[in-house]
Amino acid sequence: MDICAVNVLTYEEFLEIFGNVVEKCPLIPAAIWTHRPFSSLAEIEAHISDFIDSLSQSGKEGILRCHPDLAGRDHLSGTLTRDSQEEQREAGMTTLEHAELSRLTRLNSAYKERFGFPFVICARMNSKAAIMRQLVERLENSRPTETKRAIEEVKKICHLRIRYIVLSDVPNKL
């Protein structure tokens, strides 16, 4: 699908295809659809980024709360979105050994208790070891610093999801 094909999608088609580029937040692609025609993928991403940046602190935290815990309850119950399932699988988060899973569960709980939202990281850009290391490091951040950092990770995830959708017919898409 190229940018021309994106621009001729109906509202419903656009939401069907782009509705989860920001995890469980179809309102965001719904809001940017009116900016068509898009000149590039970068323009789509810029509109999404601007929308997220325009949100209040509580709105940004709401976006973060839509994300699942890494290797958490949604993974165990099979309710992860297809996108999250693939991203966590690629990062090795779905095949953790018992000790790794126990440690991750404790760290996820500490993180959520401290910040009020799940730890968000672009799994596709990180290894299992890097994810664990960053989780420990980011637990030391202040709430404003961590909210900003987590939103930047949301934008990275969105970037890769958009590229995956639009460039899915190109070999070695990522």
CA 72 to chain centre: 15
HSE at residue 159, side-chain half, CA atoms within 13 A, is 15
> Residue type at 29?
P
Query: What residues act catalytically?
Result: 67
Specify the DSSP element, H or E, that contains 20.
Answer: none
Q: CA torsion, points 93, 95, 96, 101, in degrees to nearest 10?
A: 70
Inter-residue contact 15 to 30 (CB < 8 Å):
yes
| Measured distance CA(145)–CA(166) in Å, rounded | 32
What is the token pair recorded at 8? 């001729």
Q: How many CB atoms are closer than 10 A to CB 6?
A: 21
